[in-house]
Amino acid sequence: MDNLKEIVARCEELAFDLSFTRAREWKSQGKDRVVVGHMPIYFPREIIHAANGLAVGILGGGDKKLIIKGDAYYQSYICHMPRSIIELALDRHFEDFDGFIFPSICDVIRNLSGMFQILGQGKFVKYLDFPQNFKSHVGGTFYRYELQTVLDEIFKLNGVAVTAERLNHSIGLFNLNRSLITQIYDLRQQFPWRMTAADLYHVVRAGYVIPVEEHNEILSSVLQLLSKENGAPMDKIRVLVMGAFCEQPPAGLIRTIELAGCYIVEDDFLLGARWIQGDVDTSTDDPLNAITEAYLVKSTFSSSVYDVGNPKEARLLKLIHERKVDGVIFAAPSFCDPALLDHPILQKECNDKQIRFISFLYSENTGQFKVIKEQVGTFSDSIKLWD
Ligand code: SF4
């Protein structure tokens, strides 16, 4: 595919294929292949790849799945995504999945992992505790042990031993994947009119459900196409969208923000795909340790990570300056404790530094964008007219 529109259309189809067709096809092509689902935000997919597996990101049903049974599993005052994931599970969308990883983000995800166990989903369900201690000999040792338990589960299923050579190869592929995404973000923040934020979102999200080798080819094509001029700049403000790292906003909401007079030049959608900042070392004979160290020292900032000593408000400010942002849009899923507990801290920092911001809540299935369009449009106009 050498046309950007075609690539984006294919990625959109893949990204929202709730039957996970490509993952099923891939699995059917080898008898020791396994498919492992993982929830947001971050999970080192390299280790599944090295064990002859495909790690598939489970990001909820978005606005494509009607929730009927899922509501019975959760009280009304929690976010939407776990309800749609339960609905998908009960409707057997994950039938060919061998296992599930629930990275520790919040209590809701912890409870969801328990529900998957009770419902007998897959052959293993792992609640993966991420360390909140960033010393190698404490948090690093613990995290490495957690990752090894995932590999042990897969070994029980397919008997594939993960050698240093295999894991280094897999790490290299994901290093390339992150690097290509970073290059696309860097290019797009210079020339945001060349590709909409929603199109970029679809391209990155497709990578959650297909083999990394295929996604790297897609990203390389996109990067090449974006390096040529395409379109012309419009009179829009540059914004950073913050708070959407777990339950994803509907694509219509991302489009609405840009249609209301903004270029989204930075965001935390699909943050897991960009979690590690830079490369994981591939030159060592202990690559599991390299993955562990990368998490400890190269993680981006997020509401799910303890940040004493490296406060996220300072990291947000750095990003605002790097991306030459005119304003910040705090967009969080309704009832998302991690995001909403952080927003007052981040907003105070914006206030203190006289950085304009607005905030609103959404759900993955929000369908009415009129109010948001008016709010964002007013924000954009006020910055254009009076800043
Ligand atoms: S959206 Fe927020 S509250 Fe809901 S599962 Fe994700 S982190 Fe937890």
In this structure, which amino acid lies at residue 365? N
CA atoms of 373 and 358, how far apart (whole Å)? 12
Closest approach atom of ligand 1 to CA 106: 8
Counted residue by residue, the chain has a size of: 387
The whole-number average pLDDT for the span 3-30 is 97
Sequence-distant (≥ 6) Cβ neighbours of residue 57 within 8 angstroms: 37, 38, 40, 205, 208, 209, 272
User: How far, in Å, is the centroid of ligand 1 from the Cα of 337?
Assistant: 7
pTM value > 0.95 = yes
pLDDT score recorded for residue 387: 72
Q: Which residue would you say has higher pLDDT here, 273 or 387?
A: 273
- Residue 93 clears pLDDT 60, i.e. is over it: yes
Task: Read off the tokens for 25.
Answer: 């096809």
Which residue intervals of 191-336 are DSSP H helices? 197-206, 212-226, 251-259, 287-298, 312-322
User: How far, in Å, is the centroid of ligand 1 from the Cα of 58?
Assistant: 13
- Residue 2 clears pLDDT 70, i.e. is over it: no
pLDDT score recorded for residue 316: 96
- Tens digits of per-residue pLDDT, 252-270? 999 999 999 999 999 999 9
- Residue 69 clears pLDDT 80, i.e. is over it: yes
pLDDT score recorded for residue 52: 98
Answer yes or no: is the C-beta of 246 below 6 A from any ligand 1 atom.
yes
User: How far, in Å, is the centroid of ligand 1 from the Cα of 384?
Assistant: 34
Closest approach atom of ligand 1 to CA 335: 3
The chain-wide mean pLDDT, for the chain, equals 96
Q: Tell me the pLDDT band of 103, cut-offs 50, 70 and 90.
A: very high
- Tens digits of per-residue pLDDT, 187-233? 999 999 999 999 999 999 999 999 999 999 999 999 999 999 888 99
The residue contributing the CA closest to ligand 1 atom 2 is 336
The residue contributing the CA closest to ligand 1 atom 1 is 247
pLDDT score recorded for residue 131: 94
- Percentage of the chain lying above the pLDDT 90 cut: 96
Task: Read off the tokens for 245.
Answer: 């790292």
Q: Which CATH number fits domain 22-162: 3.20.20.70, 3.40.50.11890, 3.40.50.2300, 3.40.50.1110?
A: 3.40.50.11890
The whole-number average pLDDT for the span 56-71 is 94
Closest approach atom of ligand 1 to CA 337: 3
- Tens digits of per-residue pLDDT, 182-197? 999 999 999 999 999 9
3-state secondary structure of 265: strand
3-state secondary structure of 5: helix
CA atoms of 114 and 31, how far apart (whole Å)? 29
- Tens digits of per-residue pLDDT, 325-361? 999 999 999 999 999 999 999 999 999 999 999 999 9
Q: Tell me the pLDDT band of 386, cut-offs 50, 70 and 90.
A: confident
In this structure, which amino acid lies at residue 67? I
Angle, in degrees to the nearest 10, between helices 164-190 and 287-298? 30
User: How far, in Å, is the centroid of ligand 1 from the Cα of 381?
Assistant: 32
- Residue 35 clears pLDDT 90, i.e. is over it: yes
In contact, 237 and 380? CB cutoff 8 Å:
yes
124: left (phi over 0), alpha (psi -120 to 50) or beta: beta
Interior CA angle at 333 toward 249 and 18, to 5°? 45
User: How far, in Å, is the centroid of ligand 1 from the Cα of 236?
Assistant: 31
Answer yes or no: is the C-beta of 287 below 6 A from any ligand 1 atom.
no
CA atoms of 110 and 99, how far apart (whole Å)? 16
Task: Read off the tokens for 185.
Answer: 């973000």
User: How far, in Å, is the centroid of ligand 1 from the Cα of 248?
Assistant: 10
- Residue 309 clears pLDDT 90, i.e. is over it: no
Closest CA to 379 of 343, 346, 355, 347: 355
Answer yes or no: is the C-beta of 109 below 6 A from any ligand 1 atom.
yes
3-state secondary structure of 172: helix
- Tens digits of per-residue pLDDT, 153-185? 999 999 999 999 999 999 999 999 999 999 999
